Structure 1
Amino acid sequence: MRQKILDACVEAFGVGGFHGATMKEIAERAGISQTGLLHHFDSKAELLVEVLAAHERETAAIVREADDLDILRTQLRVVHANEARPGLIQLHSVISSEATTDGHPAHELYRARYDSLRLHLTRIFAELRGRGRLKVKLPLGVGHLETGT
């Protein structure tokens, strides 16, 4: 039942965002009463955090399997896995923009997510550059440069 509720949240939050979705709508999408919904989850904020955390766990499992230098191809695997669930992508698009405001239940989750991703990719690009495997091409008009540094 919890998974059915979380699936209903993906749909509801994907359409109306966190602020636009209601507990009543989520319960209806899950095919249960609001009381039944509250039996499993105490609040809409708890639902949002659980939906996002579940997706982060799935994504982390894909990324953990990759060699650090293969992380860019792994990111493409994550994108392909996400293509099968457009509602989840819609949810992330809406919620990530909403979560830029302080006080949003997902604000810290997204801040930490993007900080971690930025640091991880910076480390990988530095490692690739150090191994001479990163080629840099400058934009037109600036010239053309291929370098291992």
Structure 2
Amino acid sequence: MTRARGADRRTSIVRAAFDVIAERGYRGTSLAAVADRVGLTQQGLMHYFPTKEDLLTAVLETRDEWDLLHFGRDSSAMTVNQLADLVDYNATRKGIVQTYTVLAADSVTEDHPARKYFHDRYARVRAGMTEMLERHRDELPPGSTPEQLAPLAIAVLDGLQLQWLLDPEQVDMSAGFRTFLTLLGIKPD
């Protein structure tokens, strides 16, 4: 019973951290603000997450776990349709997308604690995207390679997310991504 209560408390802390980071950015987020959001003292929160970096790691890992639970464990085997479905799914999770976008942008500074996480994540995502596009090599524009197009596809995804966050009434992430796939010559279902 105590272990389950501890896991529930950790989950509520991570969810609160998502919200606070989305509102204030990582640097503007304090353990005290997250603790206050869940009705704990800062010392109480530190029982679960001793440092702000520990909490950030939990936030990032949780986001990845949610995606993997929803779309399968092997991201390198993701199909174009599954990726389009992930874009659709993200359109229902504004807070998660906002937190990710804020943290990704913040991570470009050298001293950011998530810099290595995002560096490594983008390397994995580029590799997975390259593998996915490789399965469509015959459909891709002449003279282009999956290796060339993978970072462009990721840039389109990230850019659509940012624009959608800023103007959700004018930017349709799902339609935009499907249009991009069509421009590549790939026809999603």
Go from structure 1 to structure 2 and tell me whether the alpha carbon gap of 1:66 and 1:49 turns closer, same or farther (over 3 Å shift). Answer: closer
Indicate whether 1:64 and 2:70 are aligned: no
- Higher mean C-alpha deviation, range 83-92 or range 58-67: 58-67
**Map of 1:1-149 to 2, 5 A cutoff?**
1-61=9-69, 62-64=71-73, 68=77, 71-129=79-137, 132=138, 134-136=139-141
The answer on whether the counterparts of 1:27 and 1:33 sit within 8 Å (CA) in structure 2 is yes
The Cα of 1:117 is off from its aligned counterpart by 1.0
TM-score, L = length of structure 2: 0.64
**1:83-123: CA deviation from partner (whole Å, max 9, x where unpaired):** 33211111111110000122211111111111111122112
The Cα of 1:82 is off from its aligned counterpart by 2.4
Who wins on radius of gyration, i.e. which is larger?
Answer: 1
Between the aligned partners of 2:20 and 2:103, the Cα distance in structure 1 is 11
Between the aligned partners of 1:65 and 1:108, the Cα distance in structure 2 is 21
What does residue 141 of structure 1 align with? none
Q: Name stretches of at least 5 consecutive residues in structure 1 with no aligned partner.
A: 139-145
The amino acid that maps onto 1:95 is L
The answer on whether the counterparts of 1:63 and 1:75 sit within 8 Å (CA) in structure 2 is no
The answer on whether the counterparts of 2:32 and 2:42 sit within 8 Å (CA) in structure 1 is yes
The amino acid that maps onto 1:92 is Y
TM-score, L = length of structure 1: 0.80
Aligned length: 135
Between the aligned partners of 1:21 and 1:123, the Cα distance in structure 2 is 37
The amino acid that maps onto 2:79 is I
After TM superposition, the runs of 4+ consecutive aligned structure 1 residues lying more than 6 A away are: none
The answer on whether the counterparts of 1:66 and 1:74 sit within 8 Å (CA) in structure 2 is no
SS at match of 1:18: coil
The Cα of 1:63 is off from its aligned counterpart by 4.1
The answer on whether the counterparts of 1:2 and 1:40 sit within 8 Å (CA) in structure 2 is yes
SS at match of 1:20: coil
Counting aligned pairs with the same residue, the percent is: 25
